[in-house]
Amino acid sequence: MRWRSFPLPLLLFSFLTLLVGRAAVSGFRICSYNVQKFNTMKAKNYRLIHTLTRIVSRCDICLLQDVFDPKGEAIKILLSSLNRGTDRYEHYSYRSVASEALGKSKEDMQQYVFIYRMQTVNVTDKYQYKGNEYFDRDPFVVQFQSKNTPIEKFILVPLHTNATLAVKEIDRLYDVFEDVSKKWNNTNVMFLGDFHASCAYLTRQDKKNIRLFTDSNFSWLIGDRVDTTVTDKTSCAYDRIVVYGQPFLKAIRPFSARVYNFAKEFKLSKTRVLEVSDHFPVEVRLKSSALLHQATPLLILFSISAVIQSMFSAL
């Protein structure tokens, strides 16, 4: 076979179709990251913001918790880094939606911040849950809409618990679920964040007191044995992702929920990683919408047949 006679345009075309197929296959990524006291001082650390930009830019939606940014300066720095007009971040532009500073003590007021891609997802509603002292930091609930996912409209409920009250606060997410699913007539609800749902704060016995465990309609996607902490001294599944109902579960790409160990991915030292946070991010991927999904196998089949055909004609 003479490879030189292999038609170049056809080869390029096949390659491109495979790439498009791959993009559709990679799905819609939702991430959650406790960025440990993220403030303007941290945002002005160039190395740190570079690492954080690489992490957040992988996600269609990324929930950040433990953000101390009452004037919005730190998030502004992160957004301008994400939106810098380079090819590195795949031409997406990013926006944020943030809660007020929440907390019981003046020294520890934290915000929930969602950063999302304008090209793949819209915010349709948001609302600050008021739990009458239920939570140290009441969930800031946001409804998103995306044509790129099979469920289209879904609700994200963030929670960063007070560790010593973790069991009670996680249980009360059930009340948030009832409230918000009625309010927006939508049971496609995902709970995510640093729940402290592990080690000393949540034991096996505690589970019977948590409705998100006892009601089997809730699926815990990040398991009990996962380690979401950075140091080797601890192995705890603090950060979790939970979804309600079969429709949401079916929209999840199987086995895609995981810790994103960017120390390994970016080959960073523990020191550099701890500079950002003592947690790793967690993430899950949704399947692509039905249309993209149906198109993908066809595209791949088409490109394979094109290659085979051209090989025969080259003989």
Ligand X SMILES: *[C@@H]1O[C@H](CO)[C@@H](O)[C@H](O)[C@H]1NC(C)=O
Residue 270 within binding range of ligand X, rule CB under 6 A: no
Task: Kindly indicate which of the ranges 79-87, 116-124, 256-264, 271-279 contains the residues binding ligand X, using the contact rule CB under 6 A.
Answer: 116-124
Least distance from ligand X to the Cβ atom of residue 161, Å = 9
Contact with ligand X (CB under 6 A): which of 43, 74, 79, 121?
Answer: 121
Distance of alpha carbon 179 from alpha carbon 198, whole angstroms: 26
Residue 37 within binding range of ligand X, rule CB under 6 A: no
Contact predicate 193/158, CB 8 Å: yes
Size of the site for ligand X (CB under 6 A): 17
Of 154 and 260, nearer to ligand X (C-beta) is 154
Least distance from ligand X to the Cβ atom of residue 2, Å = 46
Contact predicate 186/155, CB 8 Å: yes
Least distance from ligand X to the Cβ atom of residue 130, Å = 18
Contact with ligand X (CB under 6 A): which of 32, 57, 110, 146?
Answer: 146
Least distance from ligand X to the Cβ atom of residue 163, Å = 7
Q: What tokens were used for 20?
A: 């498009």
Q: What tokens were used for 89?
A: 């971040």
Residue 120 within binding range of ligand X, rule CB under 6 A: yes
Residue 60 within binding range of ligand X, rule CB under 6 A: no
Give the strands of the sheet with 61-67, arranged side by side: 94-98, 111-117, 61-67, 28-38, 282-286, 258-259
Contact predicate 88/33, CB 8 Å: no
Interacting residues with ligand X between 174 and 233 (CB under 6 A): 185, 215-217
Distance of alpha carbon 34 from alpha carbon 293, whole angstroms: 32
Task: Kindly indicate which of the ranges 23-31, 37-45, 102-110, 172-180 contains the residues binding ligand X, using the contact rule CB under 6 A.
Answer: 102-110
Contact predicate 140/112, CB 8 Å: yes
Residue 165 within binding range of ligand X, rule CB under 6 A: yes
Least distance from ligand X to the Cβ atom of residue 213, Å = 11
Contact with ligand X (CB under 6 A): which of 39, 162, 256, 261?
Answer: 162
* Beta strand spans in 74-227 (E): 94-98, 111-117, 122-128, 140-145, 153-158, 189-194, 218-220
In one-letter notation, the amino acid at residue 99 is S
Contact with ligand X (CB under 6 A): which of 44, 104, 250, 270?
Answer: 104
Q: Are strands 28-38 and 111-117 parallel, antiparallel or unpaired?
A: unpaired
Contact predicate 61/120, CB 8 Å: no
Q: What tokens were used for 191?
A: 């709970």
Task: Kindly indicate which of the ranges 115-123, 266-274, 277-285, 289-297 contains the residues binding ligand X, using the contact rule CB under 6 A.
Answer: 115-123
Give Cα separations from 26 to 253, 256, 306 (angstroms): 9, 10, 23
Q: Which residues bind ligand X (CB under 6 A)?
A: 104-105, 108, 120-122, 136, 145-147, 162, 164-165, 185, 215-217
